[in-house]
Amino acid sequence: MAGQAWATWGHRTPRTRTRSPGGASWGRRTTAATACATISCVRHAVILAGGSGTRLWPASRRARPKQLLPLGPGGETLLAAALRRGRAIAGPRVLVVTAETQAEATRQVAPGIELLTEPVGRNTAAALGLAAATLAERDRDAVLAVLPADQHVADEPGLTAVLETALAAVERDDVIGTIGIAPTRAETGFGYLEVDAATPGVVTPVRRFVEKPDRATAEAYVASGRYLWNAGMFCASAARLLRELDEHLPATAAAVREITAGRARASEVYPALASISIDHAVMERAARVVTVPAAVGWDDIGSWAALPALRGSDADGNTAAGPTVIVDGTGNIAIGDDGTLIAIVGISDVVVIKSGDAILVVPRAEAQDVRKIVEALSARGLARYL
């Protein structure tokens, strides 16, 4: 098998770019070289599961990041939920991309899955380039549905329907099809997609990508009705994705092809690759990018403030797990372990997390800043807590 030296197989500043929708020709261009509508496309789900989840410290650590934690209802992991969503659209053809250092823990949580491992993290452009090259070698007409492993979706059948719509557009027209989430609040922690009209379930061209606006700008976006949250989910043929990398990130494109062909070892070439997201490397620059607006109860579990989306809250808006007592407080999040009691009295909107050898206390509104603690621990030589 090509690439056995690097792959493990299941046991085998805001940036914006405005684009023209391209007129009437963008939606129906089909050629043998670019689309697979007239032949047999092979759908694959690619689960991105290599992040470290620094904003969910101290529960999320290097050896056991957030996607492997039992954060969901009934103790389900985020990865297990992502795998279920992937299988709904691709059957058994689900590939999980993760770090070599997380491979064993990932197998323990989800035994039998197919893994593609990276020797070092180089963000999502390299990870998806490696996945696309791997699947293109296996299936020339591979079409990818890319799903992050750190998200919550309340309406999974609804998401499946939206992904089916995006995949059909990819297979027919060789577009890149994103999933745009109808915003429910003026969120400053997400990127946005600008469209001319946001009709649920209808394929529409993306005019531009916008990264994480400030509060006032986010409020204006939501009020306009022309902006969607960028969920980080998208569909594209493996061939199209590799062509975009050839154009916009040629060194990465060349490296992943060399790795999958067995002519290079990932451990030798991967560290030199650019660390850049697929959004910045490709999506903002590519032509013929569309989105399917969706309202499916989606949330990114990027910080402790998002936990109520998974666990729910009581009548006072408190979310708790483990031994906890909250008196005269509202909107708190308290998670304990090892039998240690967490008691909160007379304060509101605070996050208190006890996990192993560390305790975190942070205002709920500042939960996005937990990564600063992780950076400080590293800078102060306290990596044993990471």
| Cα distance between residue 171 and residue 41, in whole Å | 7
Q: Is 336 domain-assigned?
A: yes
Q: Is 38 domain-assigned?
A: yes
Give the model confidence (pLDDT) of 340-352 as tens digits. 999 999 999 999 9
| Cα distance between residue 291 and residue 201, in whole Å | 9
Q: Let me know whether 296 and 323 are in one domain.
A: no
Question: What is the share, in percent, of the chain residues with pLDDT greater than 70?
Answer: 90
Q: Let me know whether 111 and 226 are in one domain.
A: yes
Category of 78 on φ-ψ map: left (φ > 0), alpha (ψ -120 to 50) or beta: alpha
pLDDT of 131 higher than 90: yes
Give the model confidence (pLDDT) of 276-309 as tens digits. 999 999 999 999 999 999 999 999 998 999 999 8
Neighbours of 151 (CB within 10 A): 23
Which of 61-70, 91-100, 252-261 bottoms out in mean pLDDT, i.e. has the lowest?
Answer: 61-70
Q: Is 377 domain-assigned?
A: yes
Q: Let me know whether 316 and 281 are in one domain.
A: no
Q: Let me know whether 262 and 335 are in one domain.
A: no
Encoded tokens for 20: 């023209």
Q: End of a domain among 283, 300, 317?
A: 300
Q: Is 7 domain-assigned?
A: no
Q: Let me know whether 253 and 270 are in one domain.
A: yes
Q: Let me know whether 212 and 359 are in one domain.
A: no
Rounded mean pLDDT of 95-113?
93
Alpha helices in 270-361 (DSSP H): 278, 307-311
Which pLDDT belongs to residue 7? 33
Which pLDDT belongs to residue 27? 39
Among residues 304, 314, 339, the alpha carbon closest in space to that of 324 is found at 339
What are the start-end ranges of the E strands in 65-166? 94-99, 114-118, 142-148, 151-153
Q: Is 6 domain-assigned?
A: no
Q: Let me know whether 203 and 328 are in one domain.
A: no
Q: Is 84 domain-assigned?
A: yes
Q: Let me know whether 252 and 369 are in one domain.
A: no
Neighbours of 212 (CB within 10 A): 16
CATH number of the domain within which 114 lies: 3.90.550.10
Q: End of a domain among 300, 333, 364?
A: 300
pLDDT of 188 higher than 70: yes
Q: Is 2 domain-assigned?
A: no
Q: Let me know whether 292 and 339 are in one domain.
A: no
pLDDT of 132 higher than 50: yes
Q: State the sign of the Cα–Cα–Cα–Cα dihedral 26, 29, 33, 39.
A: positive
Rounded mean pLDDT of 14-22?
41
Whole-model pTM above 0.75?
A: yes
Question: What is the share, in percent, of the chain residues with pLDDT greater than 90?
Answer: 81
Which pLDDT belongs to residue 13? 33
| Cα distance between residue 102 and residue 303, in whole Å | 20
Which pLDDT belongs to residue 36? 59
Category of 278 on φ-ψ map: left (φ > 0), alpha (ψ -120 to 50) or beta: alpha
The residues facing 378 across adjacent strands are: none
Which pLDDT belongs to residue 63? 85
Rounded to 5, what percent of the chain is helix, strand, coil?
35, 25, 40
More confident call, 157 vs 62: 157
Q: Let me know whether 266 and 367 are in one domain.
A: no
Q: Let me know whether 26 and 162 are in one domain.
A: yes
Counted domains in the chain: 2
Q: Is 206 domain-assigned?
A: yes
Q: End of a domain among 273, 300, 327?
A: 300
Which pLDDT belongs to residue 2? 33
pLDDT of 32 higher than 80: no
Q: Let me know whether 192 and 280 are in one domain.
A: yes
With 0-12 / 13-18 / 19 or more C-beta atoms within 10 angstroms meaning exposed / middle / buried, residue 49 is buried
pLDDT of 241 higher than 60: yes
Domain with 346 in it: 305-385
Which pLDDT belongs to residue 9? 27
Among residues 256, 27, 3, 19, the alpha carbon closest in space to that of 128 is found at 256
